[in-house]
Amino acid sequence: MTLAEYVKTTRRRNADTFPALVSQYEALFLKVHAESFKPVRELPLKFAVINSLNKRSQLIELSDGHWLIHDQYLGQTLNALTRLYFMSNKPDSAHPFAFRLLSEAASCRGRAELATYFAYVYSVTYHASKDSTGAEDAQKVALRQASVHVQEAFVLAHELAHLMWEPAALDPASIDMLLDSLMDVEGSDDWDEIVETYLDDLSFQFHGRPIPHWANINTDEERAQDKIVREDIKAKLIKDCDDEALMRAALKAEPRFREEVFVDWMAAQTCLKLFRDDMDHVDLALAIHLALENITTISFVSNFDPEGLEGESSSETLAVAARKRALREVLRFWLLEVRPESPELGHRVLTEANKRYMHFVRDPITLDALSRVRVDTMPGKDDLADMRQQIVRSIPEAIDPQFIIRERPFKQAAGAGASS
């Protein structure tokens, strides 16, 4: 099978690639390949750029050798998610993006009616929330572009690192040591302090301003009830901690998880070497952090089946969360190495970045928006078909749902929804 045949049978074409971007990707591939470990550099490898709705870079072996396929549309999607991360000022900004990803995933599955429906919802919700992101100045644009450049390098390095994963050739004890160093992170064992912080967070959220929990407790009855609540929370936290330790032990024995953590680590090392002299160290660490966050967000929504409500299993979700924590530890260790005068810097900036991503990108897309997509509220197949016919009748170009994604018509529908 040729590369063209493989792409035609496994990908949903989006559009032609941009020649200028292809040249940039080829240059980036050469840089990443040159910084890879020796076994990867010595392997004959071909590189190609495609533009598909699958949004996936992939290492494959065909009759004429190994190919690394990089998807231009993945880069564009990483760019859009990164803009949300940097510029959103309320979670609603991310909701439309979930429907865009659902539409494109439906197109990849050959479900044109469903793809058109979600493209329509994307357009309407986009116009309803488009003013909820701030304007980018030149400095912010440059930061976003640099971040996406690193993220795409991470994607390429990640795929190349899979070539290094030969369990028979790797010392299992070395992999165990890597996993232990990244996953067995000691936390605070002052449970009373942890409970106090948790209750303060709840109080802040309830009041909308920093009022500590103790300020809500005024009577003897409230103090007695508070004591019971604290003990219940502490018991649950301790049990969750024990359960997490068992989960980590199970994950560390799972071959696919071991491989993914290993190649994440390898990809991070490549990017840290490649860009450490070109970027602020904190910006570089955050870009690598965003790479895995964005990739896993795209994967989560793309694998979500709105007709069957299928997606990642709970074990897969736990594995992804553990991978992201492990990568944050890689970056924390590196920032401690390059900025020894600020030992808490890595923990602080990565914790803040994780919270911001969760609040403005991950949860609005993977929880809030997808919670609206339920079997009992989805239009039936006949209704979906009728809707597609009506849309195509009024906008013939919308026979391709990507036309709706690109042009975003239906602005009046968004206005009608807002005023009703």
pLDDT at 258 > cutoff 90? no
CB 307 within 8 A of CB 378: yes
Interatomic CA distance for residues 155 and 77, integer angstroms: 13
Contact indicator for 201, 189 with CB cutoff of 8 Å: no
Residue 121 has pLDDT above 90, yes or no: yes
Q: Where are the domains of the chain?
A: 3-73, 170-253
Among the residue ranges 108-112, 216-220, 337-341, the one predicted with the least confidence is 216-220
pLDDT, position 242: 56
Q: What is the pLDDT of residue 418?
A: 44
Identify the residue whose tokens are 């690394």: 68
Least confident of 202-216, 232-246, 283-297, 309-323: 232-246
Percent with pLDDT over 70 in the chain: 85
373 or 152, greater pLDDT:
152
Give the span between the Cα atoms of 362 and 355, in whole angstroms. Answer: 10
User: What integer pLDDT is reported at residue 419 of this predicted model?
Assistant: 40
Amino acid (1-letter code) at residue 53? L
User: What mean pLDDT do residues 218-246 have?
Assistant: 78
Distance CA 215, CA 226 (A): 12
- Please report the pLDDT score of residue 133 as a whole number: 64
Query: What is the residue whose two structure tokens read 């992939």?
Result: 58
Edge-first strand listing for the sheet containing 65-71: 45-50, 65-71, 58-62
pLDDT for 189 equals 56
Half-sphere exposure of 188 (CA within 13 A, CB side): 10
Render pLDDT for 343-387 as a digit per residue (tens, 0 to 9). 999 999 999 999 999 999 999 999 888 888 865 577 888 999 999
- Give me the pLDDT at residue 243, please: 56
pLDDT at 247 over 80: no
Distances, alpha carbon 271 to alpha carbons 119, 148, 172, 177, 239, in Å: 35, 12, 25, 22, 38
Mean pLDDT of 398-419: 80
The pLDDT value given to residue 420: 37
- Rounded to two decimals, the pTM is 0.83
Of 256 and 191, the one with more pLDDT? 256
Which two tokens mark 250? 């199970």
Question: Can you give the pLDDT at residue 28?
Answer: 97
285-324 burial, b if ≥16 CB within 10 A, otherwise e?
A: bbbbbbbbbbbbbbbbbbebebeeeebbeeeeebbbebbb
Q: Is the pLDDT of residue 107 over 60?
A: yes
Between 95-108 and 281-302, two packed helices, what is the crossing angle to 10 degrees?
50
Q: Which of 116-130, 251-265, 333-347 has the lowest mean pLDDT?
A: 251-265
Average pLDDT over residues 141-152: 97
Would the pLDDT of 116 be above 80? Answer: yes
Residue carrying the six token digits 């357009």: 123
Residue-wise pLDDT tens digits, 294-349: 999 999 999 888 776 555 556 677 788 889 988 999 999 999 999 999 999 999 99
Write down the pLDDT at residue 209: 66
Does the structure show a pLDDT above 70 at 161?
Answer: yes
pLDDT of residue 301: 93
| 368, 100 Cβ separation under 8 angstroms | no
Q: Could you tell me which residues are beta bridge partners of residue 305? A: 310
Judged against a pLDDT cut of 90, whether residue 174 lies above it is answered with: no
Q: Has residue 160 got a pLDDT over 50?
A: yes
- pLDDT at residue 187 is higher than 60: no
Give the mean pLDDT of 39-54: 91
The pLDDT mean for the chain works out to 86
Range from 131-140, 188-197, 207-216 carrying the lowest mean pLDDT: 188-197
Residue (of 260, 116, 122) closest to 182 by Cα position: 260
